[in-house]
Amino acid sequence: MNDHSKIIDALGGKRGIIDSGLPSLAFVIVFTITKKLDLSLVIAVAIAVVAAIARLVKRDTIQHALSGLIGVLVCAWFSRSTGKAENFFLPGMIKSGIYGVVYLMANLIRWPILGLVLGPILGENLGWRKNPVRLRAYLLAGWVWVALFVVRLALQVPLYLANQTTALGVVTLIVGWPLFLVTVYLTWAILKRTSPVVESDVKED
């Protein structure tokens, strides 16, 4: 498996993109056509259940099988409990906000999240901490992720506040997996410029 595939798998994986995208797409389409919240939620949850079962049949891990389903159930609960269709997308917005802050703070203290997540996967563990060039690469990639979360919220929040459910759903899909894939590609492009730093015993400052 090349580094590009490793990065995609570490940050959600191709199946994760599909599992999270299809229920949202179904919700947007059904609600736009019918304006029936309950029906839209039932179909979205049903698709998530089918995806989870398909993962279990293929003997994927229980964590991967249930993560997408749980995410959709949380979204459905937010929407159903408030009676507002746009709240189906609220958990994702909250998640983007939290991730954005975490990535931002980690970069500011020069402990980029990507280094902590990808370091062990790419075989360098914390060796990148002792290499200024590699550290800068992880920091730069980290800023790309911060930008991802900022762009998402900048486009989603105004539509959410305006109760524009269909527009919010369409924008959420656009800034969801397509923008995610662009971000992963940029991360890979940045990191491939420098080689992973293997250091078996890293002594912290």
Contacts of 32 (CB under 8 A, 6+ apart): 166, 169
Domain ranges of the chain: 3-191
pLDDT of residue 144: 97
CB count within 10 Å of CB 94 equals 12
- Rounded distance between C-alpha atoms, residue 100 and residue 112, angstroms: 12
112 touches 138 (CB < 8 A): yes
Query: Does the pLDDT of residue 184 top 80, yes or no?
Result: yes
4-57 pLDDT tens trace: 566 666 555 555 656 667 888 899 999 999 999 999 999 999 998 988 888 788
Q: What is the mean pLDDT of residues 135-147?
A: 97
Write b or e for each residue in 31-70: b if 16 or more Cβ atoms lie within 10 A of its Cβ, otherwise e: beeeeebeebbebbbebbeebbeebeeeeeeeebbbbbbe
Question: Residue type at 147?
Answer: A
The dihedral sign for the CA sequence 50, 28, 7, 2: positive
Q: What is the mean pLDDT of residues 135-151?
A: 97
- Rounded distance between C-alpha atoms, residue 122 and residue 133, angstroms: 16
pLDDT of residue 148: 96
109-127 pLDDT tens trace: 999 999 999 998 888 999 9
What percent of the chain is modeled with pLDDT above 90? 60
Q: What is the mean pLDDT of residues 62-75?
A: 81
pLDDT of residue 85: 94
DSSP 202: P
- Of the candidates 119, 110, 144, 149, which has an alpha carbon nearest to the alpha carbon of residue 3? 119
Report CA-CA distances (Å) from 122 to 15, 33, 55, 72, 73.
21, 46, 26, 31, 33
pLDDT of residue 19: 66
pLDDT of residue 77: 96
As a whole number of Å, the end-to-end CA separation of the chain is 33
Residue 201: pLDDT band (50, 70, 90) is very low
